[in-house]
Amino acid sequence: MARNNDRMSREEAGRKGGEKTSREHGQEFYEEIGQKGGETTSQEHGKDFYEEIGQKGGETTSREKDKEFYEEIGQKGGEKTSREHGKEFYQDIGQKGGENSNNNSDNR
């Protein structure tokens, strides 16, 4: 999208610059700058900031997604957890859950 005297718009220049950066740098580059950005954000903002953006993101997702979306991501998460953790993991969390249930029923 050219402008006056064949000058590029900011949008086009940004797109071209992004495409060139993508061609010249691999995944590690993007991981590194993402890590640096995350660390900087973490240093500049406190817990309240993350709670607020998490709350807003959750509310938006809840409005925009349906039951099937949550079923699908729950299924994927469960499958990944099952692949990455063995039988002992489930025994351990089951034990902890049982202990918490017993503690809660004792407090009634």
Q: Residue 1 above 80 pLDDT? A: no
DSSP classification of residue 8: E
Q: Report the half-sphere exposure of 38 (CA within 13 A, side-chain side).
A: 6
Domain boundaries of the chain, sorted by first residue = 1-64, 68-108
Burial profile 66-88: b = 16 or more Cβ within 10 angstroms, e = fewer: eeeeeeeeeeeeeeeeeeeeeee
Tell me the mean pLDDT in the region 77-90.
Answer: 91
What's the pLDDT score for residue 22?
A: 92
pLDDT (tens digit per residue) in 68-82:
999 999 999 999 999
Cα 82 to chain centroid distance, Å, stands at 20
pLDDT (tens digit per residue) in 12-39:
999 999 999 999 998 999 999 999 999 9
pTM: 0.46
What's the pLDDT score for residue 106?
A: 61
